[in-house]
Amino acid sequence: MINKIENNDLSAAKAAKIALVDFSAEWCGPCRMLAPIFDELSEELAGKVEFYSCDVDQNNAAAREFAVMSIPNIVLLKNGALADRQVGFMPKEMLKNWIEEYFD
């Protein structure tokens, strides 16, 4: 399941042990290509990682907080702190492998 960030509120993502926040926009082609992959991974990694979607047009302050300049921009938070980020489209297996590097 993908949780939607609204009103620039990242508190739930920051409270998670491991969270992925996909900063994107509806008009972004690569973002639309990544969306179904992100959805599949949210099901496969349920219970291990929390997934969030953040529309940069509706959540400017949240995007600024993480210095998002290009989208898609996937921010990986571990225990509330920025652990890593990936900018641009990634195939499913590459994205999954990147996420799994942060499992304990």
Catalytic residue (one of 10, 31, 34, 63): 31
What are the CA-CA distances from residue 50 to residues 2, 29, 76, 85, 90 (Å)?
Answer: 8, 24, 10, 15, 18
28 is catalytic: yes
CA dihedral 6, 41, 25, 77 (to 10 degrees): 60
Half-sphere exposure of 19 (CA within 13 A, CB side): 23
Catalytic residue (one of 13, 16, 18, 28): 28
54 is catalytic: no
Positions annotated as catalytic residues are 28, 31
